[in-house]
Structure 1
Amino acid sequence: MNQSLPATSAAPRCGLDVRRIARISAVSICLLLVFFGPTDNWSWDPSFYYAQIRSPIVEHDLDFRNETHTGAFELPYTETGLQESPWPVGPSVLWSPFFLLGHGLMRLIDPAHADGFDALSLVSTMLGSIGYGLVGLMLIYAIACRLADRFAALIATALCCAATPLEFYLVRQPIMAHTTGLFSAALMLWIYLDLADGEQPEWLSGLLFGVTLGLCFLTRWNGLLLAAVPGIYFLTYLRRAVISRSPALAWLVLAQSAILVVAFLITLTPQIALWYQLHHKIVMMPQGSDAFVASIWPLNLPRALFDTNRGILFWCPFVLLGVIGAGFIRDARLRLLGGLLPTFQLVLIGYRVDWYSGGGFGARYMIELLPFIVPGFLALLQRLPGRTLQRWVLLACGAILILHQLVLLYAVEHMAEGWIDPALYGKGLPLGLAWQWESVLRLLRDPALWLAPRPYVSVERQAFLVNLLAGVRDPQAYRFSLLAAALTPLLVTGLSLFAQLLHKRALARLLTAIALYFLGWAVFILLV
């Protein structure tokens, strides 16, 4: 493993570089005006995530039924007379500071319309979600810099963003858990590498791993798979203690493991509190048995890999390249993680009835594991002889993968116009492959299609540039884009501050603050 550390791991300078923040903000605003167009389809997942913030803060209750969108389905009442929430509370708690900022400003500016569904509250929360995704990408870049040169690290990070469904959940549907899940998983791997390289003291390992594992679990239920990361780390040290016959080292490992459990449980308290308030139980099975196939075998695993409707091979080949390349990773423990975690995730998806991710875009279940995909992708690239060849292959491969994902995104967003069959897509039935090639040719022949308004999306949820080119003159149509642009410098400043916390014990202080914030939310939920 390359032991040289990226700039983010260096000790921070005092203060913030205002000019640098201004430059990054300007570029970010330009990108935002081109790509940011959050959909107004809030069915199921996003409506639950948002209700878990808004309902206790604005309505001072946990009655989600009047806010969640479940279509023709009606969820049963719980023992407390409320509606259950099958989704974790972690994304909601992580977004809550941004919601509170937007809602607080709205109460000052226009209290009569500060209902939590106002544009300022929504956009603030969306930008918060985007921010977590960007932090995840920052961490992926820093991790990649440990394993390859900066050019390869940058392209690999760009591929994580634009050659996977992540791009959709950044700029089209940010009110989903994927950005917070990516942030948590990337932070887990960063902490592991920091500890392995001696950049963090051993006596903080339990705290760092415990809080981060709690975040992984509370952002995506299957995030519990990442317990393999501290498991491998502590087992390595325990083995060393046995071989060297060192009771002190063995006790250190056991003590840190105990601290991990305590930190994990503290971070878990908002979920425990919510379960108790909704069900009068402190432990629940998050999803019913009907979500899984009635077999001991992951029957849908072949479809998750090879189906033409969101199978990895045809919808996110970048992930498959990373899984294949995991076998070439030099560091044995990282090689094990790069192979095991994606495999476990795919097997788990194979057990799900909705292996195709329902009505969501793309092979989205793999987004959270992108930090563990990148090392394998870079290792596979490094099998090529010569850095020049590696760079040319990386650029060519990157361009193809990004174009492919953009075409998929366009086809799904415009499926009502006949690009793909909506009924087949929504039910996870095979779509064939001819439409992908036809879509590529059609979009290359007529580039103006890229900027066509999305059907069944309200005008204020279209991207700024799309509305501008369509001749939209109503100022209200631009309020989401302009509010996001106005708040972007605050987001960039926050990202800069986070980058300065990735050194030594500042990260431990940050995670301690997060754990205490989660504990505070647990108390708040119990008092609602």
Structure 2
Amino acid sequence: MNESLSSEFAKLRVGGRGSAEHVKILLVLFLLSLPFVNPIVHGDGVGYYAYARAPLIQHNLRFEEDWRHANLYFSQMRTLPNGQLSPSEYTETGYVSNLFTVGPAMLWTPFLLAAHFFVLLANAFGAHIAANGFSTPYVLAMALGTAIYGFLGLLISYFLARKYIEDRWAFLATVAIWGASSLPVYMYFNPAWSHAHSAFTVALFLRYWDRTRDFRTILQWNILGLLAGLMVDVYFPNGVFLLLPFVESTLAYWNSWREKDFRAAGLLFSANLSFTVTMAVAFLPTLITRAIIFGGLFRFGSYTALPWDWSAPNWRLVLFSSEHGLLSWTPILALAILGLFFP
């Protein structure tokens, strides 16, 4: 990530005054937006945050305390009157069934480690802050981390967009997505959810994939694989973006076949294999936690227990439903999609 961002900022020096000014404006807007950060863990965020808190504080994956400390609705749905968790909350391995992904916890780790160090140091000097992962320093660190990742996702997206369109339009598009999509909800108001982290990891993956498209070394394939694994660690549907290197490689194989350049095809196969291995390594945190909690590397609770209905004609509702339809609730995305075809 540092290499990618450093490269982008280096380009700003030769990219014109407008580019640098736009980045400064985005930075100022971000700093001014920080008072909107809402340090809270609730709803789905309970599951995401538990993967960070329990290993840090308890050094295990026992999430009972996270379920008990959750917001009232979440907790009441999952606990008995005596405070014990409902038996239905446990898997066959005896662990709480936490279906949520581990990627956000991985990204929060630096911020929570800093918060934990602060709490321990403050307590050593006489403060009385609960070092349990639920007190304000921890939750505030988590929320600030989420806001930072969301902003980095916007910034990287801006750098990617300005490669293909005029800088001013890339800037306006970035501000529009920031202000008129659902992203700020998850950057500021629901920071324990995974969507701001998705924006960051997907933007980072796409930018690196695009920047190395013309020629990619084995090392760069490995870096792309690590970014791909992290992207899916954060949110499983992000895996749809793996279609980009898949289609890219398929076309390259086809060209090699037509030109009878089997050496190039062999080199690409080695690169693809290396990419797959490094992606699998980056995805290990997910697989290991699934094995511990659900009893198998590829057991994901209800995600794999329930059959997929391929005949369900719900794509229209996904886009246009009055109940959180993507385009009906976020019309700025309709303009964004049109912009792909009419730049």
TM-score range, shorter chain: 0.7 to 0.9
Q: Is the 8 A contact 1:79 1:280 kept in 2?
A: yes
Q: CA deviation at 1:168?
A: 0.7
Q: Which residue of 1 aligns with 2:325?
A: 311
Once the two structures are superposed, what CA deviation does each residue of 1:172-193 show, in whole Å capped at 9, x if it has no partner?
Answer: 1111111111111111211221
Match of 2:99 among 76, 82, 86: 86
Q: Is 1:210 paired with 2:221?
A: no
Structure 1 gaps of 5+ residues are: 1-5, 14-19, 329-379, 383-528
- After superposition, residues 255-334 of structure 1 pair within 5 angstroms as 255-288=270-303, 295-326=309-340, 328=341
User: 1:176 maps to what in 2?
Assistant: 193
Find out whether 1:30 has 2:45 as its counterpart: no
1:237 aligns with 2:238: no
Give SS of 2:212's match. Answer: helix
SS in 2 for 1:235: helix
CA distance in 2, matches of 1:261, 1:41: 34
**C-alpha separation between the residues in 2 aligned to 1:297 and 1:146?**
39
Q: How does 1:331-350 map to 2 (within 5 A)?
A: none
Report deviation, 1:292. 7.1
Contact 2:294 2:300 survives alignment (8 Å)? no
CA gap 1:7/1:239 in 2 versus in 1, 3 angstroms: same
How far did residue 42 of structure 1 move? 0.7
Q: CA deviation at 1:242?
A: 1.6
Quote the residue 1:67 is aligned against: 66
User: Kindly tell me: are residues 132 and 253 of structure 1, through their superposed partners in 2, closer, same or farther at Cα, counting changes over 3 Å?
Assistant: same
Q: How far apart are the structure 2 equivalents of 1:7 and 1:213? A: 20
Q: Is the 8 A contact 2:290 2:300 kept in 1?
A: no
CA distance in 2, matches of 1:161, 1:124: 21
Partner of 1:246: 261
Q: 1:11 to 1:170 in 2, by over 3 A?
A: same
Q: Secondary structure at the match of 2:285?
A: helix
Compute the displacement of 1:258 (Å): 0.6
Tell me how far apart the structure 1 counterparts of residues 247 and 323 of structure 2 sit (CA, whole Å): 35
* 1:192 corresponding residue in structure 2: 209
What is the rounded CA distance, in whole Å, between the counterparts of 1:110 and 1:22 in structure 2?
38
CA separation of 1:58/1:130 partners in 2, compared to 1, >3 Å: closer, same or farther?
A: same
Q: Report the Cα distance in structure 2 between the residues aligned to 1:311 and 1:228, rounded to whole angstroms.
A: 24
- State the distance in 1 between where 2:159 and 2:38 align: 29
In structure 2, distance between residues paired with 1:287 and 1:144: 37
- Cα 1:239–1:11, aligned 2, differ >3 Å: closer, same or farther? same
SS in 2 for 1:37: coil
Q: How far apart are the structure 2 equivalents of 1:202 and 1:124? A: 37
Asked if the contact 1:188/1:229 (under 8 Å) is kept, the reply is no
Q: Secondary structure at the match of 1:240?
A: helix
Preserved contact between residue 37 and residue 171 of structure 1 (Cα < 8 Å): yes
Corresponding residue for 1:465?
A: none
Distance apart, 1:302 and its partner CA: 2.2
| Alignment RMSD (CA, Å) | 2.8
User: In the alignment, residue 222 of structure 1 is paired with which amino acid?
Assistant: P
**Distance 1:279-1:29 versus aligned 2 partners, 3 A rule:** same
Letter in 2 for 1:309: E
8 A Cα contact 1:47 1:67, kept in partner? yes
CA contact (8 A) 1:58 1:115 kept: yes
Alignment of structure 1 residues 53-132 onto 2, 5 Å: 53-68=52-67, 69=70, 70=74, 71-73=76-78, 74=86, 75-110=88-123, 112=128, 113-132=130-149
What residue is the counterpart of 1:446 in the other structure? none
Kindly provide the amino acid, as one letter, of the partner of residue 81 in structure 1.
G
Specify the alignment match of 1:49 in structure 2: 48
CA distance in structure 1 between the partners assigned to 2:151 and 2:61 by the alignment: 30
Change (3 A) 1:279 1:285: closer
- Per-residue deviation at 1:89? 0.7
Contact 1:216 1:226 in 2 (8 A): no
Cα deviation for residue 92 of structure 1 reads 0.7
CA contact (8 A) 2:41 2:192 kept: no
Out of 164, 167, 181, which is 2:184 matched to?
167
Q: Is the 8 A contact 1:206 1:257 kept in 2?
A: yes
The answer to whether residue 242 in structure 2 is matched with residue 227 in structure 1 is yes
Does the 8 A contact of 1:209 with 1:230 survive in 2?
A: no
**Secondary structure in 2 aligned to 1:110?**
helix
Q: Which has the higher contact order (CA 8 A, sep 6+)?
A: 1
Offset of residue 95 of structure 1: 1.0
Indicate how the Cα distance of structure 1 residues 276 and 37 shifts in structure 2: closer, same or farther if over 3 A, else same: closer
Distance verdict in 2 for CA 1:98–1:163, change over 3 Å: same
Deviation at 1:30, TM superposition (A): 3.2
- Judged with a 3 Å threshold, the aligned counterparts in structure 2 of structure 1 residues 41 and 128 are, in CA distance, closer, same or farther, namely closer
Question: What letter is aligned with 2:222?
Answer: L
Distance 1:161 1:298, change over 3 A: farther
CA distance in 1, matches of 2:151, 2:195: 12
Q: Give the letter for the 1:30 counterpart.
A: L
Structure 2 Cα separation of the partners of residues 275 and 166 of structure 1 = 28
**One-letter identity of the residue aligned with 2:46:** S
The whole-number CA distance in structure 1 between the counterparts of 2:231 and 2:151 is 16
Following the alignment from structure 1 to structure 2, what is the Cα–Cα distance between the partners of residues 41 and 125? Answer: 9
**What code does the residue aligned with 1:296 have?**
W
Amino acid at match of 2:42: W
* Local SS of the residue matching 1:58: helix
Which position in structure 2 is the counterpart of 1:517? none
Q: Which string of whole-angstrom CA distances, capped at 9 and with x for unpartnered residues, describes residues 144-170 of structure 1?
A: 101111110001111121111001111
CA 1:24–1:238: 2 relative to 1, 3 Å: closer
**Shift of the alpha carbon at 1:287?**
2.9
Q: How many residue pairs were aligned?
A: 313
Residues in 1 aligned to 2:187 and 2:158: alpha-carbon distance in whole angstroms: 17
Contact 2:37 2:143 in 1 (8 A): no
Q: Secondary structure at the match of 1:86?
A: coil
